[in-house]
Amino acid sequence: MSLINKILLGNFLIEKNIFKNWKLVVYLFIMAIVMIFSSHLVDKKIIKISDLENEISYLESKYVENRKKVMELKMHSNVISEMKKIGLKSYNIPPKKILVD
């Protein structure tokens, strides 16, 4: 019987040197479990990185939006309209500079 047929049929597991062959099978089984576990850990990290990147893009857009609102509130015309709502008037004459020696 050829070596390939023995491997395919599993005859190598029931021969005389069974203990030596089972050590190899157990070793390969443990290595497969370790590889599966490590790939799951990598997948979790990739998902976490993706979530953090989405959160970063959301926070960046929120920052830009808030900065735009601040710029609009600082505009002279907006300040004047808000002052009119309160009842304050803009002063047309510029202030005088007082010098103290």
Domain chopping of the chain, boundaries:
3-86
Burial class of residue 2, CB neighbours in 10 A (0-12, 13-18, 19+): exposed
Please give the share of the chain, as a percent, with pLDDT higher than 70.
Answer: 94
Tell me the one-letter amino acid at 99: L
- Using pLDDT thresholds of 50, 70 and 90, give the confidence band for residue 33: very high
- Using pLDDT thresholds of 50, 70 and 90, give the confidence band for residue 34: very high
Average pLDDT of the residues of the chain? 86
Whole-model pTM: value is 0.54
- Using pLDDT thresholds of 50, 70 and 90, give the confidence band for residue 101: confident
Torsion, Cα of 85, 88, 91, 97 (10° steps): -130
